Structure 1
């Protein structure tokens, strides 16, 4: 009965483990370079055909005999650390490979693979093809037999050469320069210091190719080791952090560094990719592509973070392998990973605290140098307010805004708001609320909190809010912001509607009548965001927002508007209002056809709904409100000293 059951592995598994597992050339070449490291190679030469037809990876490692090729390289799932070769190479290198799947990644970017290798004076080679594997699958063969190469085709006398042919061009990526940078971010042992030179088209990969340290303004290191800071021209401050928790096993330590750039835009690179992340290495190679994704809680400083850390305890030989098959993520329920997350959260709290301190120091100095008016404002404040004002400027400087002109606009708005809040004794609350551009916009839009000040200030702050709308909102944000903002601030629709108010009872009736719809799916079907009901000076107003991208037809609007008016008129007549004055306002993103081709028909259709009914557009709301308040500003009396200072910033 011992052979009653047996497990088999179909060749189809190669599709899942190799051909379809990896998605980019950097990840694939990482596996080839790691194999060269495990073969004790001192040099790896990667050459890429300018026309993208082939890629060669040559190393000067120990090479493979025919037996090695069959028993190790061609054996899917060969676990070197657990078998004859052990966990350390003859040169004493910790072995990177573990699952025995990495070599299959080559099939994800090429349909034909040649492997040439030399060992102990002999050389041999083979050719594998995706088509050949698929043919073996169709014929239900128990194994795939690569084609042996003729002796005259072998081109190596030492080490191993892998040639990728019939390359899938869509996966080649952005070129050799970018590939060198991305490979540099996947290994911490590349370079002369580690006796492991990797070249792409004759150019060696160096730590400088990573590009991240060159952007770092503030740096935190773990333990006694410090990275090469030769290229760190932007560095202003640095600090060492503890490399372990006291309760950890004595062998557990974290090496590496975390840094912050001066601007989030500094971490954007077409060639190196997005560097706003923290990569994790184990045994000298990439183990987790970006652990910051797990730690990011949307606080401002995280947008400035970059870094690379090594945590070898994630990949120890006597513990389960927690790397995913493509070795770019980990199994997150493992205790070692959870311990690393806890450690990094703790250290990032320290980083944030120091970042705020250093940021205030350096950004205020920079802001004062660039704007004497700002320095004059800060120096003119009473001591009790100066620290809060400096914190305000530091926080505004930390908002992820790339253009300095836009940042100066925020400084101006922030100073005006600070002065108003100073009168109300709530500057600390104001500063604490600044966490993002969206929150700042919301704060500047809080009209009720400013009404204790002069009406001119209210108008001017409204103009500032309108200008922020113009700069910040995109097509999607228009829907979200205006839906939340418009119904409580009808002055955007009509400056005269200053005190328009709602009626909770009436809105309940309109819900029950099916005019105001609370069901989200039904709103989507009708292309609606929301409907609001307001009253102003005896006028009953229904405002309906349509999705910004929705193309409406006049007939649809007329039918909907007439339904709203008829329903509202019936309700109001039941309440004793025989001839109610009703207006329906449709807020659209796209123009309807009749606005250009038949404006008279449009006008009569709106009047037919009810006199005063009309269509307005998101962009027209902003422009119209701005023009209305700009007219007031032009007639305003001479600006005071604070305004003159602010205008100079």
Structure 2
């Protein structure tokens, strides 16, 4: 209990909290980063953040530090004084421990209200050993009915207070407990650590200051393998700007106004997906002052696409040392229209554009070098070409390699496609066009590839026509009652024959014993399933069961009920086992289906539940229609092309893909 003499109050209308806390710091990382900053300014050497396992009633977030703590009087004069500016009030740009002060606005301590309705503060003073525990309740602070400006002090609930105590001094520090959380999602501990590290410049590397989240130090994810170029370290002699010094991998330069900045830009091998990593972040006194951006560049310069690969940090302490505050309340952006910020903006634009051009050239060179290495597997194919042909193809590959936005995988695909097209006698005019391009950007490449749209459609149409021919061959064998294991195996190897959507399915053997056990219970008692041929296919978390009834048998009501029971039994077992399969569907195929009253409606209900029953004629007709529809779409892309017209008139051989036909054995 707190003695009657331990009283605290806050003297401003609490509705201001709605703007200082809730409106500004709705991100858990942003809110807690402000509390970490306070711990830095209190000369803490350790900050421990504890996140909840799940956000629900009773969940809380704890932020504890071993900093200076506060006396009761300091709680009143500093913490509960809105807008308290330590630099002005104490005439100090550094803490007593010699650190540059991060705080300036005096409102970050209310950031917790962005994610919680209740904030408990427990603090022990290093100076006196006083221990004070008080509570801030956003509902009480923001109560309705009062004016925005109110000179009447509002009492703050003091939960506990203990006077000065020498023995308590070693327990100095502050613990903030955020309760009645308003977050919608439970923060991921690993991602939280990474995001927190990105809010501070080299903070996790400071020898006298550590921050942990759920017991693990904050640190950026180890992504060195993703980085392709690192500047200024990767400058060559001619590229290095005049006056640039390099210290521990960081560039050190002076702006025209005399302010010193430190910087490091890196380019990733693939486009950056993380929002808080893509672009250049500005830091002042180790703390984020401008979220990642590209110095307001809006276009009109080369290699703009390279921005998607760029990440960087700039340390510009002078931005936070101006008489006028240039940084927004939530530490997200700098006022770039201010005169003091313009030299940094101009430097950033020039340095960014220069590095984007350098990256484009170096990436192209790297791709050409990598291309030469990748050409080795194609050497035998190139050797079979006439010398002048090989030269044309190599020039075309070089031109494509210089398109820096292409990933290595995309380049590999294009290189192989170019070689295959030339070998097949197609696209030679387009490849010639590529080989004659001294410089080729992404837009030009897209234009050239667009010209190959007809050829791409033709290649796909030839494949589809070939598959239709193979389905026709299978249909002949079914009609001749040759439903043997060879046919079953061929369907297993080529499930696309039945439906294009089955193209990714493969034979699943891991459940063979289970399937056999269930089928003996539900199917084998029926003579129509004796000597049946069945398949179990899988793709990702989907399991597809195909049951083929004995040739010559007609499926009736009882067969359908047995099959339904079989699939449902399998679903129950898979669900109980919590296996990797989340979807179990089935297809029963018979020579014929009975058509009694109500039978069609029964099949419709089964289909809606992921089960189907059909005959061979219906199955193959549906398969042919699906592939024919696909062919029609491809044909519509180039109806005037003679080769496409030849496919329509049946110009393809029955097995022109060279795939083996099913055996009759």
Q: Aligned partners of 1:331, 1:414: CA distance in 2, in Å?
A: 55
* 1:549-564 paired onto structure 2 within 5 Å: none
Q: Which residue matches 1:347?
A: 351
Structure-2 change in CA distance of 1:177 and 1:188 (3 Å): same
Matched, 1:43 2:10: no
Offset from partner CA, 1:580-626 (integer Å, 9 cap, x none): xxxxxxxxxxxxxxxxxxxxxxxxxxxxxxxxxxxxx9996556326
Q: Which residue matches 1:94?
A: 100
* 1:224-263 paired onto structure 2 within 5 Å: 224-227=246-249, 243-244=252-253, 248-255=256-263, 257-263=264-270
Q: Which residue matches 2:232?
A: 221
The root-mean-square deviation of aligned C-alpha atoms, in Å, is 4.1
Q: Which residue matches 1:32?
A: 35
SS of 2:133 mapped into structure 1: strand
Which one of the candidate residues 310, 318, 331 is aligned to 1:313?
318
* TM-fit CA distance, 1:343: 1.4
Structure-2 change in CA distance of 1:250 and 1:85 (3 Å): closer
- Do the aligned partners of 1:278 and 1:291 also contact (CA within 8 Å) in 2? yes
Structure-2 change in CA distance of 1:422 and 1:336 (3 Å): farther
Structure-2 change in CA distance of 1:340 and 1:192 (3 Å): closer
Q: Which residue matches 1:567?
A: none
* TM-fit CA distance, 1:19: 1.6
- Do the aligned partners of 1:24 and 1:172 also contact (CA within 8 Å) in 2? no
Q: Aligned partners of 2:189, 2:362: CA distance in 1, in Å?
A: 37
Matched, 1:302 2:307: yes
Which one of the candidate residues 201, 204, 208 is aligned to 1:195?
208
* 1:326-475 paired onto structure 2 within 5 Å: 326-372=330-376, 389=396, 391-396=398-403, 398-399=405-406, 407-408=414-415, 420=429, 427-428=436-437, 431-432=439-440, 434-436=441-443, 440-445=445-450, 459-460=454-455, 463=458
- Do the aligned partners of 1:212 and 1:275 also contact (CA within 8 Å) in 2? no
Matched, 1:128 2:126: no
Offset from partner CA, 1:10-45 (integer Å, 9 cap, x none): 432221121222221010111001100111110001
- Do the aligned partners of 1:378 and 1:390 also contact (CA within 8 Å) in 2? no
Matched, 1:177 2:190: yes
- Do the aligned partners of 2:257 and 2:343 also contact (CA within 8 Å) in 1? no
Q: Aligned partners of 2:333, 2:426: CA distance in 1, in Å?
A: 45
- Do the aligned partners of 1:24 and 1:171 also contact (CA within 8 Å) in 2? no
SS of 2:26 mapped into structure 1: coil
* Bigger-Rg structure (1/2): 2
Offset from partner CA, 1:322-356 (integer Å, 9 cap, x none): 11111111112123433223212222233223323
Matched, 1:83 2:89: yes
Q: Which residue matches 2:111?
A: 105
Offset from partner CA, 1:331-384 (integer Å, 9 cap, x none): 121234332232122222332233233222322333343443666899967999
* TM-fit CA distance, 1:218: 0.8
* 1:479-490 paired onto structure 2 within 5 Å: none
Structure-2 change in CA distance of 1:161 and 1:407 (3 Å): farther
Q: Aligned partners of 1:260, 1:376: CA distance in 2, in Å?
A: 35
Q: Aligned partners of 2:339, 2:259: CA distance in 1, in Å?
A: 15
Which one of the candidate residues 15, 40, 45 is aligned to 1:12?
15
* TM-fit CA distance, 1:211: 4.3
* TM-fit CA distance, 1:278: 2.0
Q: Aligned partners of 1:305, 1:408: CA distance in 2, in Å?
A: 26
Structure-2 change in CA distance of 1:106 and 1:410 (3 Å): farther
Structure-2 change in CA distance of 1:460 and 1:390 (3 Å): closer
SS of 1:191 mapped into structure 2: helix
SS of 2:246 mapped into structure 1: coil
- Do the aligned partners of 2:461 and 2:631 also contact (CA within 8 Å) in 1? no
Q: Aligned partners of 2:71, 2:29: CA distance in 1, in Å?
A: 28
Structure-2 change in CA distance of 1:389 and 1:122 (3 Å): same
Structure-2 change in CA distance of 1:34 and 1:387 (3 Å): farther
SS of 1:67 mapped into structure 2: helix
Q: Which residue matches 2:286?
A: 284
Offset from partner CA, 1:180-217 (integer Å, 9 cap, x none): 010011112423534110011111123xx244544211
Structure-2 change in CA distance of 1:164 and 1:64 (3 Å): same
Q: Which residue matches 1:161?
A: 175
Q: Which residue matches 2:598?
A: none
SS of 1:345 mapped into structure 2: helix
Length-normalised TM-score, structure 2: 0.58
- Do the aligned partners of 1:188 and 1:284 also contact (CA within 8 Å) in 2? yes
Q: Aligned partners of 2:454, 2:432: CA distance in 1, in Å?
A: 18
Q: Aligned partners of 1:302, 1:325: CA distance in 2, in Å?
A: 27
Q: Aligned partners of 2:186, 2:434: CA distance in 1, in Å?
A: 60
* TM-fit CA distance, 1:137: 5.5
Q: Aligned partners of 1:303, 1:249: CA distance in 2, in Å?
A: 31
Matched, 1:186 2:192: no
- Do the aligned partners of 1:299 and 1:435 also contact (CA within 8 Å) in 2? no
- Decide which moves more: 54-63 or 394-403: 394-403
Unaligned runs of 5+ in 1: 1-7, 228-239, 448-457, 468-616, 638-649
Offset from partner CA, 1:52-97 (integer Å, 9 cap, x none): 3101111111111111111111111111111215111111111011
Q: Aligned partners of 2:341, 2:390: CA distance in 1, in Å?
A: 47
Q: Aligned partners of 1:77, 1:19: CA distance in 2, in Å?
A: 16
Matched, 1:324 2:320: no
